[in-house]
Structure 1
Amino acid sequence: MSDIVAFPTLAGAGEARQLPRNIEAEAAFLGAVLIDNRVVEDLPVQLQADHFFEPLHGRIYQQAMTLIERNSIATPVTLKPYFEHDEQMKALGGVGYLAQLTGSGAGLIGARDMAQQLFDLALLRELVGVGRNLVENALDTSESVDPQAQIEDAETSLYRVAGGDSAVGSVKSFAQASLVALSTAEKALNSGGGVSGITTGINSVNAKIGGLHDSDLMILAGRPGMGKTSLATNIAYNAASRWQRDEGDGIAPDKNMGAKVAFFSLEMSADQLATRILAEQSGVSGEALRMGKISKEQFQQLSRAVTELQSLPLFIDDTAGLTIAGLRTRARRLQRRHGIGFIIVDYLQLLQGSSKSGDNRVQEISEISRGLKTLAKELNVPVMALSQLSRQVESREDKRPQLSDLRESGSIEQDADMVLFVFREDYYMMAKEPKRPVEGDDIKIHAAHEEWASDMERVFGLAELIVAKSRHGSTGKVRLQFDAKTTKFHDLADDSMAYEDYE
C-alpha cells in the first residue's frame, strides 16, 4: 500500500474522525476495479457509493459502475473527463490521483475481502447513526413525544441495518428465480401430497391450495360464529406440530413441511387461545374446561395434552390495540429470535393504522392490508389475517360470502394473494328451527319441524372453506367436517366429495 496517497484533506474533523472506516482499503479496492473491471462481477456483497466513507471514493466508484453497466471500460483515462473539475480531486493534485489508485495493484489479490470489509464498516457507521438518533430522541421530553413509537422506530432502523445485505439480493436473475421455483416443485413432489408450502394439517385443504406459501398474504374471513378463529388455531397447531415432528426426525429446515408460528391475537387473550387449542387437542369441550365440568379422566387427557404442547413452537402475542407498525416490529423480533415461519393475525380490523390516516377508516384499512402484504414479502413467510365480513351477507337468501362482502375496504381483496371464506350452513339452519310440536298440534306443525330436522341432519357438522381468490391456482370450495364441541375442523370421511371448483 506504499503507493497509496495520504488523505490529509479528505477525512472529516472532530467526532466523524472516530467513525469506523478503512480509507486505504477503499483506495486499494478502487484501484483493483480500475485495473480489472471484472472484479465487480464476483463480489460477496453489492457495494453502493454510500458504502464508501470518503465521498470522493463513492463518486469514483459510482461513475466507474455507470461505465461498466454501459459495457464501457472504466479506467483512469475514461474516468478523467468526469473529475477534471471536481474540487476534492483538485485538493489531491488533480485527476492524476486516479492513476495513483492503480499504482500498486495490491487490491487485486484481496478484492473480495476488501469489498466485504467496506460493506461491514458501512453497516457499523449506520449503526452508530441509529444509536445517535436513539439517544437524541430519548432525551427529548416534550409532551408530544411517544416513547413507544420511538422504540418501534428504533427497532425498525435496527432491523434495516441487520438486513442490509439481504436487501442487496432482491434483484434476481431468471436463472436464480427458476431454481427457487424448481426447489418448490421438488418439495411438493417429495411431500407425496402435492404440498409445496407449509402444511395446513388438513389434507383436502392442502390438495386445493398446495399449502401456505412464503410471501403470500391470505385473508381468512367469515361472519361471527362461522369458526374462522377455530380454523386459524387448527392450522397454527398443525403447522407448529409438523415443524416439531420433522425437526425431531432430522429433516432439514428447507424440507420441513411445518413452521414455527407467531399468533397475534388482538381479540382473545393468550390463555383463552391456549384453552381453545387444548380443547382441540385433548378432545375435552372448551365450555367444560372453562366451567370446570370435567371428569378425572378428562383432566388426565388435558394434562397429557399440556405436557405434549409445552415445547410446541407456537408463540402468542395478545397485545391489545397494536398498530400495523408495532405488529411488524414484533414480527421481525420473533423471526430474529425464534425463526418464525408463519404469522397469523386475529383479526385485521382490530389493528390500527398510523396517525396519518386520521378518521378515514377505509384509508386506514388500506394501509393495514398493504402493511401485512409488505410484512409477508419482507420476512418471506406466509401471513394469514382473519377478517370480518359486512352485515349485507345476512340480508341475502344464500348466505355464502362473496369478495364484495369484505368489510370496509376493497384494498383487502386487492392486496391478498388468497381469500378464503368459512361458511357453516348448520349455523343459519339452527336459527330457522320452527316451533317444536307438542301433542295435539296441527299436522302441519309436525311436518314443518320434521322437514327442518331432516335438513338439519343433512348439513349438521359440515363446513365449507371457499377459495374466492387465488393468485396461484383455481378458486373453488373445500367441504370439511366441524366438531363444534372441540371447535376442530377435519377432512370429510368421503374424500371423493372433499372439494369442487367453481364453474
Structure 2
Amino acid sequence: MESLSIDRAMPFSREAEQSVLGAMLLDTQCIPDAMGICKADDFYIERNKELFNTIIELYNLGKPIDIVTIKDQLTLRGVFESVGGLEFVMETMNMVPTTRNVKHYAEIVAQKALLRNLIRISEKALEESYRGDEEPEAIIGKTEQQLIDLSQARSSKGPVHLRTYLGQSVEKLAELSENEGDLTGITTGFIDLDKRTAGLHGSELILIAARPGMGKTSFALNIAQNAAIDSGVCVAIFNLEMPGIQIANRMLSSESMVSSESLKKGNIRDDEWEKIGEAVDVLSKADIYIDDTSSITAPEIVSRCRKLKMEHNLGLVVIDYLQLISGSSKGDGNRQQEISDISRALKVMANDLNIPVIALSQLSRAVEKRESKEPMLSDLRESGAIEQDADMVMFLYREGAYNEAAPEPNRTKCIFAKHRNGETGYEFLTWLGEFTKFSNWSGSREE
C-alpha cells in the first residue's frame, strides 16, 4: 500500500495571527472579542504571542493602546527588540484587511492551535505505545482524558446572563412540581434516606465510609440495586477487590432473601429455588454493569463511564473503593496527592456526565483507638481533597459490631457528616447480615 505523503509542518496561519493583533491595535473594541475566542498560547509565532500579551496587559490596566504605549510596555517586558521593534508593530497594524472580521480571524488562530494540540497528544500516545511500558488501557484512558480536556477547554461558554439560568430553574421547578412526593432524584431504596436527600442527583459525588465489617459494600450495592430496579436507572459498579460473580451472589441473596452462606455452599432448600428464580428474573432485567478490574486508574474509569453514558444512558456509578484506584505516577508520587487527584477526577466526571457518583472509602484506624467509635470527617483515610470534593459524606456505624450486648445489635446509624445541598444529621437502617442487606428501620430513633 502506497504511503500517504503528509506535510509535517505544524499548522498555523501567519496572516490570521497578525490580523487579530492588527485589529486589536486599531480598535480596542476588538480586544474583548479576540480574548473571548483565543488566548496567548494559541499564537504559534512567539513574537505574536508577546504582542498579544502586551495588548491584554494594557487593556486590563485601563491604559490607552497606541504606538507609544505598546513600545513602552514591550520595553518594560524586555522584549521590544526581540519582537522586531516598532517596525513589527507597524507592519502588524497594516496587515489587517478589516477590523470587522476580528472574530473570524481569532477563530482561525484558535482552530490552528487546536490542531497543534491534537498533534502533541497523538505524538505522546504514539511515544508511549512504542515504549510499551504501560498497559494499553492506561494509554487509551490518559489519551482520551486529554482529548476530553482539550474539547472542554474549547467549548467553555464563558459568562452567561442570569436570565438563562433562571429560565432553566423555572423549567426544573415546573417539572418537579408535577412529581408526587418529595423525591427529586434517584431513589436509594431507603425511605428515611430519601426523605433527607430527596434522592441522588446528577453531578453529586457521594462518599460512603466505614470501618471493616459495617457493611459499606453491601450498602452501596443495595443502593445500586434499588436504583436500577425501582428507578430504571442504568448503573455501573466498579469493584476493585471482589470478582463479579461475588457481587452477583450478594445481589441475588439480598433480592431473594436466601442467605448468602447458603448460596456460597449450595445448600438450597426446595422452597428457596423459587425465590432464587424470581430474583434472577428481576435482576436480569435491571440495567446493571459490573467491572471487576482489580487494577484500574481514574482515567480508565472515566473512559468506560463515558462509553456507557453514550451507549446506555448511564445514570449512576458506584466505586468500591477509592483507595484501591491506581495512581498515574508509577509509584514515585505522593499517595495522598494521588487520592486527591482521583477524587477530583470523579467529581469532574459526575459534573460532566450529570450523574451521581458513589465512592466508597476507608477510614483510618484512629477510630478504633477512641472511646467513641462513631466516625468523624477527620477519620477519612488519605483524605486530601476527598472531603472538599464530596457533596455528601455518609458514615456507617453499628454499635453491635463492637458490643454484642447492644440493645439493638442490627441497628445501623447512617451519619450524614457532610451534606452540601441539605442538612447533616443521621438516620437509622436495619442490618440483615444473613442476606448482606440493609432495610428500613422501624424502631425507635432514640440512641
Question: In which range does the TM-score fall when normalised by the shorter chain?
Answer: 0.7 to 0.9
Offset, 1:466: 1.1
Matched, 1:61 2:10: no
Aligned to 2:425: 476
Change (3 A) 1:189 1:228: farther
Among candidates 87, 96, 119, match of residue 90 of structure 2: 96
Among candidates 296, 305, 317, match of residue 282 of structure 2: 305
Offset, 1:476: 1.3
* Structure of greater relative contact order (alpha carbons < 8 Å, 6+ residues apart): 2
Matched, 1:389 2:363: yes
Offset, 1:221: 1.6
Matched, 1:163 2:149: no
Aligned to 1:375: 346
Matched, 1:134 2:125: yes
- Equivalences for residues 28-427 of structure 1 within 5 A: 28-41=19-32, 46-74=37-65, 79=70, 81-82=72-73, 85-89=80-84, 93-102=87-96, 104-105=97-98, 108-109=100-101, 111-140=102-131, 145-147=133-135, 150-166=139-155, 168=156, 175=162, 182=169, 186=173, 194=182, 198-212=186-200, 216-241=204-229, 244=232, 260-292=234-266, 293=268, 295=270, 296-309=273-286, 312=287, 314-322=288-296, 326-335=297-306, 338=309, 340=314, 342-353=316-327, 364-365=335-336, 367-377=338-348, 379-380=350-351, 382-390=356-364, 393=367, 399-407=373-381, 413=387, 416-427=390-401
Report the residue type matching 1:200 in the other structure: T
Offset, 1:470: 3.5
Secondary structure (helix, strand or coil) at the match of 2:12 reads coil
Q: Which has the larger radius of gyration?
A: 1
State the alpha-carbon separation in 2 of the partners of residues 192 and 44 from structure 1.
47
Is the 8 Å Cα contact of residues 83 and 95 (structure 1) preserved in structure 2? Answer: no
Change (3 A) 1:411 1:41: closer
Change (3 A) 1:59 1:410: closer
State the alpha-carbon separation in 1 of the partners of residues 362 and 167 from structure 2.
35
Report the residue type matching 2:194 in the other structure: N
Offset, 1:268: 1.1
Report the residue type matching 1:60 in the other structure: L
- Equivalences for residues 455-466 of structure 1 within 5 A: 455=407, 459=408, 461-466=410-415
Change (3 A) 1:94 1:126: closer
TM-score (norm 1): 0.69
Report the residue type matching 2:115 in the other structure: L
Gaps of 5+ in 2: 1-5
Offset, 1:126: 0.7
Secondary structure (helix, strand or coil) at the match of 1:232 reads helix
Change (3 A) 1:306 1:182: closer
Is the 8 Å Cα contact of residues 186 and 231 (structure 2) preserved in structure 1? Answer: no
Greater shift, 153-162 or 265-274, is seen at 153-162
Offset, 1:231: 1.3
State the alpha-carbon separation in 2 of the partners of residues 54 and 17 from structure 1.
17
Change (3 A) 1:410 1:121: closer
CA RMSD of aligned residues (A): 4.2
Offset, 1:333: 4.3
State the alpha-carbon separation in 2 of the partners of residues 216 and 173 from structure 1.
22
State the alpha-carbon separation in 1 of the partners of residues 401 and 62 from structure 2.
67
State the alpha-carbon separation in 2 of the partners of residues 297 and 349 from structure 1.
39
Among candidates 9, 26, 29, match of residue 17 of structure 2: 26
Offset, 1:48: 0.6
State the alpha-carbon separation in 1 of the partners of residues 41 and 220 from structure 2.
44
Offset, 1:477: 0.8
Offset, 1:224: 2.6
Report the residue type matching 1:480 in the other structure: L
Is the 8 Å Cα contact of residues 200 and 211 (structure 1) preserved in structure 2? Answer: yes
TM-score (norm 2): 0.76
Number of residue equivalences: 427
Secondary structure (helix, strand or coil) at the match of 2:188 reads coil
Q: What are the superposed Cα offsets for residues 189-244 of structure 1, whole Å, 9 maximum, x if unpaired? A: 66565556554343321332444455554331223332211111122234445664
Change (3 A) 1:203 1:306: closer
State the alpha-carbon separation in 1 of the partners of residues 231 and 66 from structure 2.
54
Matched, 1:488 2:437: yes
Gaps of 5+ in 1: 1-14, 245-257, 433-451
Quote the sequence identity (%): 34
State the alpha-carbon separation in 2 of the partners of residues 54 and 268 from structure 1.
53
Secondary structure (helix, strand or coil) at the match of 1:139 reads helix
State the alpha-carbon separation in 2 of the partners of residues 25 and 410 from structure 1.
45
Secondary structure (helix, strand or coil) at the match of 2:211 reads coil
Is the 8 Å Cα contact of residues 42 and 112 (structure 1) preserved in structure 2? Answer: yes
Secondary structure (helix, strand or coil) at the match of 1:94 reads helix
Is the 8 Å Cα contact of residues 204 and 350 (structure 2) preserved in structure 1? Answer: no
Is the 8 Å Cα contact of residues 26 and 93 (structure 2) preserved in structure 1? Answer: no
Offset, 1:386: 1.6
Offset, 1:479: 1.5
